[in-house]
């Protein structure tokens, strides 16, 4: 008879960021760096790198010229006119048929797709993530006047980890404002410094959650107690700026935005750059992978 001891297999993958497992909510410390290397060469200044490290967000005013913004906004108009509104990449507002988001614009042709290779964005991502980067997700959020609804508080990484299998916090978003982002048209709200905490969410991911969550997120939205604790520690700041400005924000910073009840739209491009060393695995807590137009599995450096 063999005396070899059998090592018990863990039933749950070893994971510093457990979420959606039916456990009570908790604030867990981040184990990954925010700035992943010396970050001394690149388009961002030392002050901008330090601000990103400390706050998990940095606003870069007037990165794109008015002419560049006009070209991008015209390309977006063309896309909205041409796109099949029933295509899976097109997400409608929860309470109207207005287009809320269009995913995977980087896989199309033309000026919108070109933005991916713009060194002002990709170069900043490489600088902060200290590696080559690829596009994990791209989308435009249109926030139409009167009808553009809110985005609940969330950490993007919580969704990308549980639903897409992103292993570590080595990923960031870059937004490009195509309209002025004002205090009153639903601009981004962040809790600066909250990126140092991972807030676990109790509720398991239901099947095909993305079919609801992209219109109105419910699973993966932290409980009110955890959000209150984060607010008491970190407060809330709003990221406003003229059309052409860029916001870089860490994958785990707590953020959201209010509905747009003003007459003016708030149109932003979002590009999510992930480190090529942080490619997606199997979902950490979801019954199936999400489609690749939401979570790309093509790890091609930009
Ligand atoms: O699902 C996603 O990938 C993104 N969208 C929402 C509404 N929340 C998480 C993440 O930002
Ligand atoms: Fe988000």
Per-residue pLDDT at 4 = 53
What pLDDT score was predicted for residue 1? 44
102 CA distance to ligand 1 middle (Å): 13
Write the residue with the smallest CA distance to atom 10 of ligand 1.
156
φ/ψ of residue 149, rounded to 5: -90, 165
Give tens-digit pLDDT for 29-51: 999 999 999 989 989 999 999 99
* Confidence class for position 14, pLDDT limits 50, 70, 90: confident
The pair of three-digit structure tokens given for residue 92, joined into one six-digit string: 């409608």
pLDDT for 245-280, tens place per residue? 999 999 999 999 999 999 999 999 999 999 999 999
Q: What is the pLDDT of residues 82-127, one digit of tens each?
A: 999 999 999 999 988 899 999 999 999 999 999 999 999 999 999 9
The whole-model pTM stands at 0.94
Per-residue pLDDT of 158-216, as tens digits, reads 999 999 999 999 999 999 999 999 999 999 999 999 999 999 999 999 999 999 999 99
Q: 270 C-alpha to center of ligand 2: Å?
A: 9
Q: In terms of C-beta density within 10 A (0-12 exposed, 13-18 middle, 19 or more buried), how is residue 195 classed? A: buried
Q: Identify the pLDDT of residue 2.
A: 46
pLDDT tens-digit readout, 16-31? 999 999 999 999 999 9
| Spatial separation of the C-alpha atoms in residues 186 and 17, rounded to whole Å | 30
Is 201 exposed, middle or buried, given 0-12, 13-18 or 19+ CB atoms closer than 10 A? buried
In the structure, which protein residues have their CB atom closer than 6 angstroms to any atom of ligand 1? Answer: 137, 151, 154, 156, 159, 213-214, 217, 294
- C-alpha 154 – ligand 2 centre gap (Å): 6
Q: Tell me which residue has its CA closest to atom 6 in ligand 1.
A: 214
**Residue ranges of the alpha helices (H) in the chain?**
46-55, 66-82, 111-114, 119-129, 156-164, 210-213, 224-234
Ligand 1 centroid vs 214 CA: distance in angstroms? 6
Give the DSSP per-residue string, 28-89: EE--S-SS-S---SSSS-HHHHHHHHHHSEEEETT-S-HHHHHHHHHHHHHHHHHS-TTSTT
């Amino acid at each position: 008879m063999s005396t070899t001891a059998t090592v018990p297999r863990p039933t749950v993958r070893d994971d510093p960021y457990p979420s959606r497992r039916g456990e009570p909510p908790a604030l867990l410390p981040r184990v990954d760096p925010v700035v992943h290397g010396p970050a001394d060469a690149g388009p961002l200044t030392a002050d901008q790198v330090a601000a990103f490290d400390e706050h998990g967000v940095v606003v870069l005013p007037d990165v794109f010229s008015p002419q560049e913004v006009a070209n991008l906004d015209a390309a977006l108009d063309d896309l909205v006119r041409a796109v099949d509104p029933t295509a899976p990449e097109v997400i409608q507002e929860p309470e109207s048929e207005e287009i809320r988001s269009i995913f995977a614009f980087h896989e199309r042709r033309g000026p919108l797709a070109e933005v991916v290779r713009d060194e002002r964005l990709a170069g900043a991502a490489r600088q902060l993530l200290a590696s080559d980067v690829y596009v994990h997700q791209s989308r435009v959020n249109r926030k139409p006047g009167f009808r553009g609804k809110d985005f609940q508080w969330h950490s993007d990484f919580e969704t990308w980890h549980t639903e897409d299998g992103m292993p570590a916090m080595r990923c960031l978003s870059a937004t490009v404002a195509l309209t002025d982002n004002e205090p009153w048209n639903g601009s981004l709200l962040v809790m600066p410094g909250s990126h140092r905490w991972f807030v676990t969410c109790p509720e398991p991911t239901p099947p095909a959650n993305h079919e609801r969550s992209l219109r109105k997120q419910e699973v993966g939205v932290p409980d009110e107690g955890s959000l209150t604790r984060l607010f008491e520690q970190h407060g809330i700041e709003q990221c406003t700026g003229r059309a052409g400005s860029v916001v870089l924000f860490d994958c785990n910073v707590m953020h959201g935005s209010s509905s747009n009840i003003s007459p003016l739209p708030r149109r932003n491009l979002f590009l999510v750059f992930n480190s090529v060393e942080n490619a997606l695995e199997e979902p950490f807590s979801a019954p199936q992978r999400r489609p690749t137009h939401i979570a790309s599995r093509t790890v091609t450096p930009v």
